[in-house]
Amino acid sequence: MGEFIYIPSGSDRIHSYSATPDEPNGCGIVLGSAVWGLNFDMVDFAECYAALGYTVLAPNLFWREVPEHAIDYDFTQVEFVHGLAERGSDDEGMSDLRAAGEFLRTQKGCSKVGMLGWCYGGRLACRLAVETTFESCIGVYPTFLEKHLGIAGTISRPLTIHIPENDAFASADAPKVIPAAFKDDPMVETFVYRDAGHGFDFAPPHRFANHAAARLCDSRIIRFFDKTLLGADGA
């Protein structure tokens, strides 16, 4: 099992979940959470990737307002958690994720580090693929990424984007305009999940949990990191 720790970020400390594998493969993954914070699902994701050999760190991206933020998909709190993201700064969030990556390299001995985010964290992951110290990045239902398509053509590291067909936190044409924006970029691969909504990769009680879409998405994530971090050819 992993543990909650604090990692340095300048003169501050960020509450984070750390999962260390029994048999490390030398690579790390930083997780960027959705607006729900470091809830049971983020802990489970961290433990699963650690079981595959990755050293995993998930920082609380909302520590400036809530030092230890974690809500288990209580939709009576939806206005509160959305407010955290609306008041937050992408630049601050990306700085926190970079600090987490640096921690994995310097304190955990990871030679390569990837970035995986969902929702708010997914948008940050996509933006971090422009100028980044991460070896590769993944954005899963990145919130309102269609407002940031200026990054197309500037991606510097491998990036995959997982897009639900029915995303309440994206414009109706996002499943078309996002793949179109990146279609000529060899660094970027996009996937659209039919009949899936925002949150499909999360576990119940999330109201849009979608088991079939989640299994496909998670298998693609594992293959991507095995290729970009471990150098596996996927054969």
> What's the pTM value of the predicted model, to 2 decimals?
0.96
How far apart CA 18 and CA 108 sit, in angstroms, is: 10
Say what the pLDDT of residue 233 is.
62
Average pLDDT value for the chain: 96
Of residues 67, 2, 65, 60, the one with CA closest to residue 36: 60
- Give tens-digit pLDDT for 199-229: 999 999 999 999 999 999 999 999 999 999 9
DSSP-derived secondary structure for the chain: --EEEEEEETTEEEEEEEE--SS--SEEEEEE--TTBS-HHHHHHHHHHHHTT-EEEEE-TTTTT-TT-B--S-GGGHHHHHHHHHHS-HHHHHHHHHHHHHHHHHHS--SEEEEEEETHHHHHHHHHTTS-SSSEEEEES-TTGGGGGGGTT---S-EEEEEEEE-TTS-TTHHHHHHHHHTT-TTEEEEEEEEEETTTTSPTTSTT--HHHHHHHHHHHHHHHHHHTS-----
CATH number of domain containing 115: 3.40.50.1820
pLDDT band (50, 70, 90) for residue 10? confident
Which residues lie closer than 8 Å to 65 by C-beta, 6 or more apart? 84, 87
For the chain, the domain total comes to 1
Domain contains 234? no
- Give tens-digit pLDDT for 135-146: 999 999 999 999
Residue 231: left (phi > 0), alpha (psi -120 to 50), or beta? left
Contact predicate 213/193, CB 8 Å: yes
Q: Phi and psi at residue 190, in whole multiples of 5°?
A: -120, 150
Domain contains 60? yes
Contact predicate 197/210, CB 8 Å: yes
Domain encompassing residue 142: 3-228
Domain contains 233? no
* Other C-beta atoms lying within 10 Å of the C-beta of residue 206: 20
- Give tens-digit pLDDT for 124-168: 999 999 988 899 999 999 999 999 999 999 999 999 999 999 999
Domain contains 123? yes
**226 vs 136, 220, 231, CA distance in Å?**
11, 10, 6
pLDDT tops 80 at residue 1 = no
- Give tens-digit pLDDT for 17-72: 999 999 999 999 999 999 999 999 999 999 999 999 999 999 999 999 999 999 99
Domain contains 7? yes
Say what the pLDDT of residue 234 is.
46
In this structure, are strands 112-118 and 55-59 parallel, antiparallel, or unpaired?
Answer: unpaired
Domain contains 191? yes
How far apart CA 89 and CA 58 sit, in angstroms, is: 18
Percent with pLDDT over 90 in the chain = 94
Domain contains 235? no
